[in-house]
């Protein structure tokens, strides 16, 4: 077959405009022994397609057995798999609801709730309450400050990831930009 014709068919193939007959010609041409050196890089591509067409399934009737197994287990049913996180949230919400109901049950079981006990606290209890409140506010402030520092570290981590991406681009830049030099078909 004419090399020029093969190059034209290849151009149409890579543009997605080739017909099945032309693709068959390409497979036939690249499976032969007389492939010009400048077209040699395309040989593995078409050899792969030729090999894939020849392969037989490992087990004949596999698709039928799979379809039958799916139908026997209730085909047509939609099974939604929830991620692990959603499952944990669902279970914890059920547990919180159960605890709330148990608390309400034991509170109402005594007959009445005495709200007067909460109206005038003991001075010692009030002082302990204020000390505890102050300690918790201090702890909360320090914790929030620590989270601010962690956010800075996350920003640095994201910057390092972007730098790694840039390094990968820089590594492959000659291959991406100068493809003709790599194939030996430079138009310079």
User: HSE on the CB side for 94, CA within 13 Å?
Assistant: 5
As a whole-number percent, the residues of the chain with pLDDT over 90 amount to 5
pLDDT computed for residue 157 by the predictor: 79
The more confidently predicted of residues 17 and 182 is 17
Question: Could you report the per-residue pLDDT of 84-111, keeping only the tens digit for each?
Answer: 777 888 889 999 999 999 988 887 776 6
Q: How far is 175 from 188, CA to CA, in rounded Å?
A: 16
Mean pLDDT of the chain: 76
pLDDT computed for residue 119 by the predictor: 66
Residue 19 has pLDDT above 60, yes or no: yes
Residue spans of the domains in the chain: they are 1-55, 89-177
Question: Could you report the per-residue pLDDT of 20-64, keeping only the tens digit for each?
Answer: 888 888 888 887 778 888 888 888 777 766 655 555 656 777 777
Q: How far is 24 from 1, CA to CA, in rounded Å?
A: 13
**Does the pTM of the predicted model rise above 0.75?**
no
């Amino acid at each position: 077959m004419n090399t020029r014709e093969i190059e034209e068919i290849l151009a149409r193939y890579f543009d997605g405009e080739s017909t099945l007959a032309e693709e068959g010609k390409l497979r036939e041409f690249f499976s032969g022994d007389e492939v010009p050196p400048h077209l040699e890089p395309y040989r593995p591509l078409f050899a792969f397609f030729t090999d894939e067409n020849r392969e037989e399934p490992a087990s004949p009737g596999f698709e039928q057995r799979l379809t039958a197994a799916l139908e026997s287990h209730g085909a047509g049913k939609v099974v939604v798999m929830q991620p692990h996180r959603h499952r944990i949230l669902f279970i914890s919400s059920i547990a919180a609801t159960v605890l709330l109901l148990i608390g309400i049950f034991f509170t109402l079981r005594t007959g009445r709730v005495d709200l007067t006990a909460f109206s005038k606290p003991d001075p010692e209890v009030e002082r302990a309450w204020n000390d505890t409140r102050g300690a918790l506010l201090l702890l909360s402030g320090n914790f929030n400050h620590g989270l601010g520092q962690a956010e800075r570290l996350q920003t640095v981590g994201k910057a390092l990831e972007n730098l790694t991406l840039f390094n990968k681009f820089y590594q492959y830049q000659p291959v991406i930009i100068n493809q003709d030099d790599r194939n030996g078909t430079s138009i310079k």
